[in-house]
């Protein structure tokens, strides 16, 4: 079963997909959060033959919902309206996913790499969004293997 992972943000949305077996997650891309977002996501769902969607649930450090979660709820409602029957949307706690997605950047020598600093910070953030979606999706997939 192929899954789509979503890291929802007010400006950018990170996307990740699983392998066909639903065991490994891979970063797919980052899209702008705009009026075309729902259609962009629907296009990926169709193209990749997605059967289940895992979206990050935005919680504060104490596990309470925050302002972003209200937007995520609205996004889920809109997406659900346009989805084909049988495609389930599941929320997965996303706390720490952006930190985990950035972890590889802080190894020896990487922190000063021009690719990730200065004027290229937008590239860094875009890369991070897709990787955060991958972390969210992989957490979900890992939980399924334990059942």
Say whether 6 sits in a helix, a strand or coil: strand
Q: Which two tokens stand for residue 82?
A: 């346009």
Structural domain boundaries in the chain: 3-146
* pLDDT of the residue at 65: 82
pLDDT digits (tens, 9 = 90+) for 2-32: 999 999 999 999 999 999 999 999 999 999 9
- Out of 3.30.420.140, 2.70.98.60, 3.20.20.80, 3.40.50.920, which CATH number does the structure's domain 3-146 have? 3.30.420.140
**Could you tell me the pTM of the whole model?**
0.81
* pLDDT of the residue at 61: 77
Q: Rounded to an integer, what distance in angstroms lies between the CA atom of residue 108 and that of residue 84?
A: 46
Q: What average pLDDT does the segment 72-85 reach?
A: 93
| Mean confidence (pLDDT) of the chain | 83
Q: Rounded to an integer, what distance in angstroms lies between the CA atom of residue 71 and that of residue 18?
A: 25
């Amino acid at each position: 079963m192929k899954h789509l992972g979503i890291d929802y943000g007010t400006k950018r949305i990170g996307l990740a997909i699983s392998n066909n077996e639903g065991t490994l997650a891979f970063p797919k891309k980052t899209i702008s959060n705009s009026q075309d977002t729902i259609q962009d996501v629907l296009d990926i769902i169709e193209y990749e033959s997605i059967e289940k969607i895992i979206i990050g649930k935005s919680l504060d450090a104490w596990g309470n919902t925050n302002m972003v979660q209200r937007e995520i709820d609205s996004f889920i409602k809109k997406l659900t309206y346009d989805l084909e029957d049988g495609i389930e949307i599941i929320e997965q706690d996303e706390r720490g996913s952006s930190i985990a997605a950035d972890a590889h950047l802080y190894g020896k020598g990487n922190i000063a790499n021009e690719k990730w600093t200065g004027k290229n910070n937008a590239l860094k953030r875009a890369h991070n969004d897709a990787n955060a979606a991958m972390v969210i999706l992989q957490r979900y997939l890992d939980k399924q293997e334990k059942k």
